[in-house]
Amino acid sequence: MLRVGLAMLQGARHEHEEALLASAMDMKLDVEIVHLRSAHDVDETIDALVLPGGESTAMRKASSSEGLLDGIYSWMEHHTNRPVLGTCAGAILLAMPDGGRLPFIQAGISRNAWGRQRQSFEAKVEVDLPLHESSNVKITRTPDEFGHTPLAVDPQKNEGEGESFPGVFIRAPRFDSESVTCDIIARFGDEIVGVIDGSKCAVTFHPELTADRRFHTWLLQRMVDYVPTN
Ligand code: GLN
């Protein structure tokens, strides 16, 4: 069984887990979600990894006692083909790792560059993810117990290059466009809001808070594609 590690640092971990399990079910894939709490949990049996959002400084501090982030960074250096999805603060951790390590994505990023917490916003972004042609990511909009419908937009209805995606930006970081030398996979107007650098995908918004599973599906597809070779 394939194992997806989820860094239990902060942020919407459980939403990531739900999204991964839903995508895996659609792909008829057996996956185990492994909660990563210490460096020992990040071993070679982990096939892919999610770095959720949160507050990156708090995440760095919280991880120091168990060495979790350090363990994750070493795992990434050893298994360069294994995919990682970093959302929001997770993107910051990929672009600006600690301990003199080289960035895992070739994209400069600035923290909190859209303003304060109350300047958080929701916007339609254009995504262009390298998903398998046959992927038909299901979007379920069943209202919850409060009668609220999960966030989603129709991915087919778009005017630009990519397909639209509901972007939830919570005190989000901002990529510095000039510095991005890897693949751009998400845009919001002129802004770059998502990149892929080899096996690493970093977005400044929170796909796990929506009903759209395309980013989690990408992670799982990439994991399946590279399992025999890394
Ligand atoms: N503001 C956070 C940081 O700088 C990121 C916010 C988020 O992950 N939603 O780390």
Q: Report the CATH number of the 2-226 domain.
A: 3.40.50.880
pLDDT digits (tens, 9 = 90+) for 199-218: 999 999 999 999 999 999 99
Tell me which residue has its CA closest to atom 2 in ligand 1: 55
Q: In what order do the strands lie in the sheet with 163-169?
A: 31-36, 2-7, 48-51, 84-87, 200-203, 191-197, 183-188, 121-127, 163-169
Q: What is the pLDDT of residue 160?
A: 57
Q: Is 19 exposed, middle or buried (0-12, 13-18, 19+ CB in 10 A)?
A: buried
Residue 87 CA: nearest ligand 1 atom is: 8
50 Cβ below 6 A of ligand 1:
no
112 Cβ below 6 A of ligand 1:
yes
Q: How many CB atoms lie within 10 A of CB 176?
A: 14
pLDDT digits (tens, 9 = 90+) for 106-148: 999 999 999 999 999 999 999 999 999 888 788 888 888 999 9
168 Cβ below 6 A of ligand 1:
no
Is-contact 196 183, C-beta < 8 A? yes
pLDDT digits (tens, 9 = 90+) for 148-173: 988 888 766 555 567 999 999 999 99
Q: Is 201 a catalytic residue?
A: no
Per domain, the residue ranges of the chain are 2-226
> If we measure between CA atoms, which residue out of 13, 36, 16 comes closest to residue 24?
16
Q: Is 206 a catalytic residue?
A: yes
* Phi, psi angles (nearest 5°) of residue 198: 60, -115
